Structure 1
Amino acid sequence: MGCGIYTIIRMKTSHTNWRVEDEDNSSNFGCFFIIGVVILGFLVYYGTIYVHTVIFATYKYSWIVYLSFAIVIALTFLTKASSFFVACLLFLSNAAFLSLIYTYIIEAFKNTDYMTFVSNANGLMFMKYALIFVPYIAIATPLFNKDNR
């Protein structure tokens, strides 16, 4: 029968008409579920590598993050927060700043610097902190940019 990806189509005849009937494909869902889980596993694995690459870049170039954050805050005050472009820059600089703060959070929990953590961490440790990072950025960045008028 196979995995259901290739269906067997049978032609049945009656007196004057032709009908195309599909075979019972009850195994399709199970096969596609397994393939989906495997693809999701690869996405999570490679996504965690990407997340730690972003975190590492903010840690390595922290002076750029601090400088851009200060410049964007100054631009926000100069434009009196009326420019949409400056608001977008503020959102991006806050996301970078919060990513840098996340490295300090990891350092506090692991009682070591981030470079030592990266060199000594295994795959599950990467996944754990990357999966914590995604909701952290998704929640903290909009809260950090919230307008309190």
Structure 2
Amino acid sequence: MCNAQRGRKSCYKAKEVGEFLKKLGFSQETVIYVTQPRWHSDLDALKNIFPHTYTEESIILKDKSGKFLSSEMSEYEKVIDFNICSESDVFVPSHDGLFYTNVVAMRIASGKNQILVPSHEIAANNLNAASDDFISPYVSHKTHFAYSCFC
């Protein structure tokens, strides 16, 4: 469950992210990668909006998945998540944290600055909002430490 912090949410559920992306104009053919090892029923709402939604388990070959996917996150899984999130066309973090900060650094270094942060309040009230309205403050305000190194 997500916690509210200072009137703002600190993370978003799959359905909220799906509705957010749909309001921004992403088509239902958009491919979504969720940094989660296995499918969970909480993701069904996202898959209803974006049928091409995948997890680690669904992109690793069936004969290899048992080797790499365990109850604890393996180093292999972390590498998959980091690489896909760093190289994707768009990155939408579901919550703040070290992973988000590190992915943003890699994306800034490679010029992939389309990092969208959901805002339930803004998306719900402004149907004409553009993706630029939701750019990560790390990018829009250039507050990420990567800017001191790469820009």
Give the TM-score of the pair, scaled to structure 2.
0.26
Mark the structure with the bigger radius of gyration.
1
Give the TM-score of the pair, scaled to structure 1.
0.26
Considering fraction of residues, name the structure with more helix: 1
